[in-house]
């Protein structure tokens, strides 16, 4: 059982130092637009959001400054570039001290083959998504993990055969007020 918080919990603690904004429907439309389209011209963003360009751009700048937009990314079709092997890995550490989590997370950060790593509660401590050129390259990565003596108790691997769905959360739906449960 985990005794120290790690991963997203520490992230949210540091996020509290970022100024919280009161977001309205227009802010949500701006966030949704940049999430869907990436960087847009002032004119195009204002057309999508349906407000004039200057206040739209001012709102965008405010959202960036407050840390709501972490960056802009392209969705590259890796399968068109080269053959890749995608493997999902669950990892459980032997010990659950803060230093154990920090050591493992530092190792993960140094490996570009690990494209996502999520700290979890429950049976496993981490779920990682890896992208390697070959299965042998993936095996080398796992050997490196073992050789690094990170305190890994066990890990399980799942080879991805195809991507069924990949995307980003619907910002507008997540921020919409939820109906209250009327059972008393």
> How do residues 127-157 score in pLDDT, each as one tens digit?
999 999 999 999 999 999 999 999 999 999 9
Task: Classify 38 in phi/psi space as left (phi over 0), alpha (psi -120 to 50) or beta.
Answer: left
Name which of 27-31, 77-81, 108-112, 179-183 the model is least confident about: 179-183
Reading across the β-sheet that carries 85-93, which strands appear in turn? 114-119, 126-132, 85-93, 152-159
Percent of the chain at pLDDT > 90 equals 67
CA atoms of 166 and 54, how far apart (whole Å): 34
Residue 67 lies inside a defined structural domain of this protein: yes
pLDDT at residue 178, rounded to an integer: 76
Q: How many distinct structural domains can be found in the chain?
A: 2
Structural domain for 27, as ranges: 23-75
Which 3 state secondary structure label does DSSP give 167? coil
The pLDDT mean for the chain works out to: 87
pLDDT at residue 20, rounded to an integer: 62
CATH number (domain holding residue 152): 3.30.70.920
Residue 134 lies inside a defined structural domain of this protein: yes
pLDDT at residue 77, rounded to an integer: 87
Same domain flag for 60 and 131: no
Residue of 138, 95, 93, 97 whose CA lies nearest to 6: 97
Residue 177 lies inside a defined structural domain of this protein: no
Residue 86 has pLDDT above 70, yes or no: yes
Same domain flag for 61 and 86: no
Same domain flag for 131 and 95: yes
Residue 154 lies inside a defined structural domain of this protein: yes
Same domain flag for 47 and 58: yes
Residue 139 lies inside a defined structural domain of this protein: yes
pLDDT at residue 166, rounded to an integer: 86
CATH number (domain holding residue 52): 1.10.10.10
If you average pLDDT over residues 71-89, what whole number do you get?
Answer: 90
Q: pLDDT higher for 86 or 3? A: 86
């Amino acid at each position: 059982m985990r005794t120290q918080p790690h991963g997203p919990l520490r992230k949210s603690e540091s996020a509290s130092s970022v100024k919280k904004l009161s977001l309205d429907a227009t802010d949500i439309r701006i966030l949704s637009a940049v999430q869907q389209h990436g960087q847009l011209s002032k004119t195009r963003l204002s057309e999508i959001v349906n407000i004039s360009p200057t206040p739209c751009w001012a709102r965008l700048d405010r959202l960036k400054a407050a840390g709501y937009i972490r960056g802009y990314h392209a969705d590259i079709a890796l399968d068109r570039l080269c053959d890749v092997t995608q493997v999902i890995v669950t990892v459980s550490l032997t010990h659950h001290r803060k230093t154990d989590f920090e050591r493992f997370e530092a190792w993960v950060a140094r490996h570009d083959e690990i494209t996502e790593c999520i700290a979890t509660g429950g049976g496993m401590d981490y779920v990682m998504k890896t992208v390697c050129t070959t299965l042998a390259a993936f095996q080398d990565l796992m050997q490196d993990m073992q050789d690094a003596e990170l305190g890994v108790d066990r890990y399980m691997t799942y080879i991805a055969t195809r991507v069924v769905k990949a995307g980003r959360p619907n910002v507008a739906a997540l921020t919409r007020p939820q109906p209250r449960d009327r059972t008393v």
